[in-house]
Amino acid sequence: MTPPHDERTSGRDRLRHSFLRPSRGQAVVAVLVGLLAFAGVTQVRISDRGDAYAGLRQDQLIQALDGLQAASRKSERDIADLEQTRNQLSSRTQRRAAALKQAQRELSTLAVLAGTVAANGPGIEVTVQDPKGGFSLTHLLDGIEELRNAGVEAMEINRRVRVVAQTSFDDDAQGVRVDGTLLEPPYVIDAIGDPDTLAGALKFQGGFSDDVKLDGGSVTVTKHKLVAINVTRAPTRPRWAVPVTAQ
């Protein structure tokens, strides 16, 4: 028996309503079905990727394995070469930095000895009084030589002349000339070095102080924790010598 027209319309409306407004149970089922479909597709793709060697024969598989092992060995050799290069560069850089630091220290030392830079450090101040005019160039040279033998590192006289290996000394009726500069008494020698050693070199019996006293003068030696020597000399260019380039 055929149902009335309004009952068929009512069933169709209920179906449409269930699609447009699904119940909670229907929604859960739809989500589960979607997840199941996604998992299936993913598994198929992974299986397709993992089966890249599935169709190869045994000899082809062995050849592929040999190729992978050869590539692995080459990569290991490349890594070892790069590590060795890195170590060599690091060692070379360290050696270069150490050599440069040592050269800078030697340059600073030579600059002090040559008198081209100011210097300061522990040392002594030597004051020579000469009221009778008996102090001679010989006395001055003896005192400077005794200080050099005691290990003096830098000297200046009357805060006007820096004393180095090339310094010249001459007699003068009014005093002494050091590098052409006339110096008159009292003579003050500032010297940098070990204070006790330098002072002892000038005071030993029969030495510099005794000789000056015998000729009517006096010597006063004062030790200082810090002596500043500010007089410098212009560097002299050699006329004949030529530096040798390191091989």
Query: Would you say the C-alpha torsion 99, 103, 109, 110 has a positive or negative sign?
Result: positive
State both tokens at 24: 């909670």
Please provide the CATH number assigned to the domain covering 118-229: 3.30.70.1880
For the chain, give every domain's residue range: 59-114, 118-229
Q: Measuring CA to CA, which residue among 196, 218, 137, 127 is closest to residue 171?
A: 137
pLDDT tier for residue 24 given thresholds of 50, 70 and 90: low
- For residue 225, what pLDDT is reported? 96
pTM assigned to the model: 0.60
Higher pLDDT, 244 or 233: 233
pLDDT tier for residue 206 given thresholds of 50, 70 and 90: confident
119-129 vs 218-229, strand pairing mode: antiparallel
Phi, then psi, of 120 in degrees rounded to 5: -150, 155
Question: Poorest-confidence range of 7-16, 157-166, 177-186, 202-211?
Answer: 7-16
For residue 5, pLDDT beyond 60? no
For residue 47, pLDDT beyond 70? no
- For residue 98, what pLDDT is reported? 78
Q: How far out from the chain centre does Cα 96 lie?
A: 10
